Amino acid sequence: MSDPARHERLVEELARSLAPIRPLAGPGWRAFAWISAVLGLGVLLLPLSDGAALSARLGVPDLRYAALGAMLTSVAAAFAAFQSSVPGRSRAWVLLPIPPLVLWLGVSGLGCLRAWLAPASNLAETGEMRGCFVFLIGVSLPLSVLLVTMLRRACPLNPGLTAALGGLAVAAAAAALLVPFHPHDATATDLAVHLVAVLIVVGLNGLFGGRVLGTPSPRPATTAVDTDP
């Protein structure tokens, strides 16, 4: 025969051993936190850039709008990634980065025409393009680790999609951070190098980030509760 008093003591001991759980912040706030980290990195790197050269490059319409497109793509993709990481959110959030992505890639492609329209443009050398590639990959690594770590806490139901969106956010952020250090005008070869770097970042995030996000988090499942209505 069971002892009610013993059961009550057991329940009390279990209740005392429970640690308080802090609800997970909403996807908008988490996206804002990651974007703030990107901006902080940009502020740290800015003193290393050539301000006069940056001002001159941003005076060219296609370079200016391509940089704007990269920044907007990063923000939209980050927001979409955090939204998709919360179970029950609409899959329509996946479409959010498409308009700025079209702007970024489209204007960058138009910028390649400058080598034909203006032969005196500052074209890229092999070493400079290699430096751009290394910069994009190098900056993407810490941003990817941070983003995947933040996304993992929400236990996304479609980890591959969420990780791919995160990879797009990271790649676009790295491209935007490259603008102050880009030593030449856009060319078809230069755009191809950037595109390869972006595809590598998105692909690796989708592959390895998806595996990480698909692994159950060691934290209690209740930490994935979203505070947004």
> What's the pLDDT tens digit per position in 4-14?
666 666 666 65
Q: How confident is the model at residue 3 (pLDDT cuts 50, 70, 90)?
A: low
Q: Other CB atoms closer than 10 Å to residue 80's CB: what's the count? A: 27
Residue 99 has a pLDDT of 96
CA-based nearest residue to 226, from 18, 19, 29, 20: 29
Q: How confident is the model at residue 189 (pLDDT cuts 50, 70, 90)?
A: low
Q: How confident is the model at residue 64 (pLDDT cuts 50, 70, 90)?
A: confident
Residue 17 burial (10 A CB sphere; 0-12, 13-18, 19+) = exposed
Q: Which residue is it, tokens 């956010």?
A: 169
Residue 22 has a pLDDT of 64
Q: Token pair of 41, please?
A: 């990195």
Distance of alpha carbon 224 from alpha carbon 87, whole angstroms: 9
Higher-confidence residue of 102 and 155: namely 102
- Helix/strand/coil for 26: coil
Distances (CA, A) of 226 to 148, 150, 190, 221, 229: 17, 13, 42, 11, 8
Distance of alpha carbon 17 from alpha carbon 9, whole angstroms: 12
Q: Which amino acid is present at 28?
A: G
Residue 13 has a pLDDT of 65
Higher-confidence residue of 52 and 190: namely 52
Distance of alpha carbon 75 from alpha carbon 36, whole angstroms: 10
Distance of alpha carbon 80 from alpha carbon 78, whole angstroms: 5
Q: Token pair of 193, please?
A: 């190098």
Residue 51 has a pLDDT of 73
Q: Average pLDDT over the chain, rounded to whole? A: 77
Residue 35 has a pLDDT of 95
Residue 66 has a pLDDT of 86
Checking if the pLDDT of 155 tops 70, the result is yes
Distance of alpha carbon 202 from alpha carbon 196, whole angstroms: 10
Among the ranges given (90-99, 106-115, 129-138, 146-155), the one the predictor scored with the smallest mean pLDDT: 106-115
Residues 6+ apart with CB under 8 A from 229: none
As a whole number, mean pLDDT of residues 105-129 equals: 60
Name residue 226's beta-bridge partners.
24
